[in-house]
Amino acid sequence: MRRAGQALKRAAAAGGEVRLIGGQWKRSKLPVADRPGLRPTPDRIRETLFNWLGQDLTGWTVLDAFAGTGALGFEAASRGAKAVVMIEADAGLVRSLGDAGQRLRATQVQVFRADALQWMDRAAGAGDSSLFDLILLDPPFAADVFEAAWHRALPLLRPGGWLYLEAPAQSTLQAPNIELHRHLKAGAVHAHLWKCSKAHAT
């Protein structure tokens, strides 16, 4: 995986790197490219999130809708998720995610270049509802699409599924059949985890 290793070095030199903290790829590094607004989920928050979820995600299907560095999605795959879909709009980050997946031999990870809101709309509109056990939403804070992303994710959640959101303020979002399970503030980041009790209409 020489090409992937070179990409990691280039990206790390430009913007740094983030280390996976659990599962089969624990301590593996992902590049953090020098992109405005790119903000990998901090170690403490990732550790807390997967403690909330129980660490073992064997058999889960996961959507990482604003993938960025892929830290959240690769953490899920590292813990046994059977399928992880990563959505990212930036072409350079998509290439970096693909390289990281090859280097880790993460065959369960699929990376698509797309606008996350449009992708979720299309998936719901195509009748692909109740697809995911876990949806991870970590939009760029400056984009202010937290509410829009949250509502678009709901139809794609399976009953009993989990919806995670990072935002710069505590969320008050509510909908039928979903309840806030956990909330954490760490620095400038508010982490939220909801649990879905029933399928949502598309």
Q: How far is CA 51 from CA 18, 71, 114, 183, in A?
A: 19, 16, 30, 13
What pTM, to 2 d.p., does this model score? Answer: 0.88
Give the separation between CA 79 and CA 35, rounded to whole angstroms: 28
Q: Which residues of the chain have pLDDT under 70?
A: 1-15, 36-37, 128-130, 199-202
pLDDT given for residue 141 in this prediction: 87
Q: What is the pLDDT of residues 125-138, one digit of tens each?
A: 877 666 899 999 99
User: How far apart (Å, rounded) are the C-alpha atoms in residues 147 and 153?
Assistant: 10
**Is 164 exposed, middle or buried, given 0-12, 13-18 or 19+ CB atoms closer than 10 A?**
buried
**Per-residue pLDDT tens over the stretch 7-39:** 444 444 445 889 999 999 999 999 887 776 677
Q: What is the pLDDT of residue 17?
A: 87
SS3 181: strand
Q: So what's the pLDDT on residue 128?
A: 63
At 107 the pLDDT is 96
Q: Which residues, 6+ apart, have CB-to-CB distance to 54 below 8 Å?
A: none
Domains of the chain: 2-196 (3.40.50.150)
Tell me, what's the pLDDT at 75? 96
Is residue 155 a contact partner of residue 34, using CB atoms and an 8 Å limit?
Answer: no
Cβ contact 37:135 at 8 Å: no
